[in-house]
Chain A
Amino acid sequence: MTPAIAIKDLIKDFRIPGSDARLRAVDGLNLTIEREAIYGLLGPNGSGKSTTIKVLLGLLKASAGNCELFGTSSENASARIRVGYLPEAPYFQRFLTGRELLEYFGCLSGLKRAGANDRIDELLERVGLEDAGDRRVGSYSKGMLQRIGLAQALIADPDLLILDEPTAGVDPIGAADIASLITGLKAEGKTVLLCSHLLSQVEAICDRVAIMSRGRLLCEGTVASLTENTGKDSIRVDGLSKDGREAVETLANEQGGTVSAPSRSLEDLFLELARNTEDPL
């Protein structure tokens, strides 16, 4: 079966206005993304993630190399038939209501008119905008724009989703909801390409990840193989009594080690507190 995404020797240069110099945003990238998986594309700011995605969608032209979606060249509009895209920091026609926006994009993506309304209701609920669907998009907050952006990417039930920082600006509960939505998509047999800076989330949901820097691929593989613990000098002990704990501390100190309480991440704390209060939106 053809892979969902195939990138071969991709180079993308940007002309710097007013000079002959060029900026190489993507530098000889090779990547194959198989179907029915969640793939994380990581890298620091300016490493060429969004540029790669835009070339994949035909929004930018490759300077060299080529990209294919389900075996069709990205330069061809047909390649986008089964693809949904959420741009980074999305911005939509502000004069439309959320519902109208989904109708509009639905029509353009070939959604049949019959059943469109049900689909829109379902998506609004899925992204947590059921109460805001009839408000103008211009009045949406940053996180709500991300949510409606996610809904429009899903509108025509695509097989491949390309999500560029879907959780940027979304509150932690929303981010957790989006993560479970993405895993749900995988269960439906869809492929997801995800760019994100939330590494703990990427670690939890992605099957494979690639890490880019300065337009080049640094490493690529399954999450398990990349995060395999090679340092053998820290251990974790659970279920000790008070005396037992003291004995372990004494022993550890004698051997030149230290014992410290495991830290709970701020994210865990926030989620726990916020989940106990009602009406998150």
Chain B
Amino acid sequence: MSTTNERLHWSFLRVRVIAGNTFREAVRMKLFLAMTILAIGTLASSFLFQEFNFGSSELKFIADFGFGGMTVFGSALAVIVTAQLFYGEIEHRTALTLLAKPIYRSEFVLGKFLGAWATVACFLGMVTICLVFALWGRETSIMAEYPDQFESGRSVHYVAVIGFSAIQALRIGILCSIVVLFSTYASSSLFAMVMGVLIWIVGQLQHIATEAWTAGDSWLLKGVYAVASFALPNFHLFDVGDQLALGENLPGAIYGKLGLYALLYVSFYLAVAGASFNRREL
């Protein structure tokens, strides 16, 4: 028996193992089945409008529909799935055995976040694949009907469609980290979900508040706004669907800018989550 005391090193391997197991839970909960049905349902419903036959503007309609579904269902899933996968572990007391192992709680927090994020990212990926197929198929048949509109080849910029969903994955990463943060503090998964939805809505409307609050001359409101605008992400920045006119790509710089923005917020929320979870009693 050794008498020297080893030191436990923070290990990304354990983070990966926890993330992998979290993802496996999502798979076995049949979440993916539900998500696939959701993805196909979203796009199928856009075809209800097919009879209007708008020509190439119909393609924009399908794309907008897909983008909207991706954002709304993706965000809702992010809140539900993260709360379930993170808080569920505390709720069912499985975290007790896990955290009695030689692991750091920050490893658990990061692993759970990555597993939940990967789950929702898979949903985004599935919607994207469906969307690309739907657009391609519809474009092909419209091209045959109205060849004069397509003299310069296909009008949909498919790389931009994939770029859009990559940007949504960043948005959802931030949302997942927020739900993780609330889960470390929560005493029910409902609390984590409600807070997640609240921050999602506030983050979405933040740019509107900007106009209202900065226009007034109350210092208090301005102060509250200043704090809130730093602590909360501005999700409107990720609404690039409008900028993304069909046939044009997104400016390359936007990926870098939003990527950095997401990275900063995710790191910030996870750092706070780690600190909060360290103090939590199980």
A interface residue numbers (CB < 8 A to B): 1-2, 35, 54, 57-61, 70-72, 77-78, 80-81, 83, 85, 87, 90-93, 95-96, 104-105, 107-110, 149, 152, 159, 189
Contacts and interface: CB of A to CB of B under 8 A. Distances in A.
B157 interface: no
B281 interface: yes
Contacts of A71: 5
A91 B93 contact: yes
A93 B96 CA distance: 11
B257 interface: no
Nearest to A53: B100
Query: What are the 9 A-B residue pairs with the smallest beta carbon separation, nearest first?
Result: A95-B28, A85-B100, A78-B8, A80-B102, A81-B102, A57-B100, A107-B17, A59-B282, A108-B101
Contacts, number: 81
B14 A107 contact: yes
Q: Is the contact region of chain B dominated by helix, strand, or loop, or is it mixed?
A: loop
Interface residues of B, number: 31
A81 B17 CA distance: 17
A85 B95 CA distance: 13
Contacts of A95: 24-25, 28-29
A93 B102 contact: no
Q: Is the contact region of chain A dominated by helix, strand, or loop, or is it mixed?
A: loop
Contacts of B17: 104, 107-108
A17 to B, nearest CB: 9
Contact of B281 (A35, A59, A81, A83): A59
Given A80-B102, A93-B25, A108-B18, A85 B1 contact: no
A81 B7 CA distance: 8
Question: Which among A2, A70, A149 has the highest number of chain B CB atoms within 10 Å?
Answer: A70
Contacts of B105: 77
Nearest to A109: B101
Nearest to A93: B94
Contacts of A85: 97, 100
17 contacts: A54-B282, A59-B99, A59-B282, A60-B281, A61-B281, A71-B5, A77-B104, A80-B8, A81-B6, A81-B8, A81-B102, A92-B94, A95-B28, A105-B98, A108-B14, A108-B101, A149-B97
B214 interface: no
A137 to B, nearest CB: 10
Contacts of A58: 99-100
B57 interface: no
B103 A189 contact: no
B5 A70 contact: yes
Contacts of A110: 102
A91 B281 CA distance: 17
